[in-house]
Amino acid sequence: MLEKINQLITEISAFSAQIPEEIEQFRIKHLSKKGTIALLFEDFKNVPVEQKKEIGKALNELKTVATAKVNELKEQLCDQDTGKSGVDLTLPGDVLKTGTRHPLAIVRNEILSIFDKLGFTVSEGPEIEDDWHNFSALNFPEEHPARDMQDTFFIEKHPDIVLHTHTSSVQVRDMETHELPIRLVTPGRVFRNEAISARAHCIFHQIEALYIDENVSFADLKQTLTYFAKELFGADTQIRLRPSYFPFTEPSAEMDVSCTLCHGKGCNVCKGTGWLEILGCGMVDPNVLELNGIDKEKYTGFALGMGIERITMLKYGIKDLRLFFENDLRFLKQFTTAI
């Protein structure tokens, strides 16, 4: 019996396990009520008295070794789970914080992708411009109030250089550099000397579209605007054109869309009118074509320009324009999108 006990001690000491089930099987085999050790204790009754002391000691040792083994194996497996460093690898991972797009970028991309479907490609121009590109080539008369120091940021030592007040200045660059026909959209940041408030800022964003080809008509402009408004604000959106004046378009119009909130019934967003002003547009003034070296007898075109802040405010129900520039994460985190 002593021999059997010693043999078991050796066997048990050498035992190792990879998974919890193996430890459990091992425990049942040796330490359960019907296990090898319990059986040996049973047999112990029959051991002659003179051997009881020695065998009893060996039996107790066997039980201690087996119990210690089970505990040791359990601890080992637990260590493997948590790694030696004590890090529990089974815990869920840290969520990687990705940024979100700025709401103005989301709406800009949306607008550009609508025009992309109509075949308009993106062009960009400089923010610092000369008087020619920002005003003169766009048919602004010398005395036009928009040239006034009140509205325009001039460079102090160079009164001919301005921060462009609208993305229309890029139309002029496009006409200089592109072969006809031209079908371009221009997103950009523009600057005007305005007091900052909930409704105005000295920096804001615009998107301009320019289309020049043979036989471009006002009907093309109207159809483009209708498609654009329905894509941007929903299929049930109506548009309305009101006559207006811009130096670089003739005729000129302002486009309203049916109120995105009340759908034309009248609410405080549309001030009870049911309509929201969205953009300025018109047929490119023949003077502008001529000033930019394009044959005004052969070509016609349309142009349009809109403020991205205003459209974003309407789309998301944002009430204060300053929020776009404050970089407050509580505001920015609310806008998540793939584009």
- Which residues would be at the binding site for ligand DAH (CB under 6 A)? 166, 168, 208, 246, 249, 280-282, 303-305
Nearer to ligand DAH, 11 or 290 (CB): 290
Report how far residue 155's alpha carbon sits from residue 143's, in angstroms, rounded to the nearest whole number: 19
**Residue 48 CB contacts under 8 Å (≥ 6 apart), including other chains:** none
**Residue 251 CB contacts under 8 Å (≥ 6 apart), including other chains:** 218, 243, 282, 283
Task: Please give the structure tokens belonging to residue 98.
Answer: 């990705």
Q: How far is the CB of 305 from ligand DAH (least distance, A)?
A: 2
Q: How far is the CB of 317 from ligand DAH (least distance, A)?
A: 24
Report how far residue 149's alpha carbon sits from residue 159's, in angstroms, rounded to the nearest whole number: 10
Q: How far is the CB of 177 from ligand DAH (least distance, A)?
A: 18
Q: How far is the CB of 234 from ligand DAH (least distance, A)?
A: 24
Q: How far is the CB of 257 from ligand DAH (least distance, A)?
A: 16
Instruction: Report in angstroms the alpha-carbon separations of 98 from 69, 104, 327, 333.
Output: 48, 18, 16, 10
Nearer to ligand DAH, 5 or 185 (CB): 185
Nearer to ligand DAH, 106 or 281 (CB): 281
Q: Is 22 helix (H, G, I), strand (E, B) or coil?
A: helix
Concatenating the DSSP letter of every residue in 161-191 gives EEE-SSTHHHHHHHHHHPPSSEEEEEEEEEE
Q: Is 130 helix (H, G, I), strand (E, B) or coil?
A: strand
Q: How far is the CB of 330 from ligand DAH (least distance, A)?
A: 31
Report how far residue 153's alpha carbon sits from residue 162's, in angstroms, rounded to the nearest whole number: 6
Nearer to ligand DAH, 187 or 282 (CB): 282
Nearer to ligand DAH, 66 or 303 (CB): 303
Nearer to ligand DAH, 270 or 303 (CB): 303
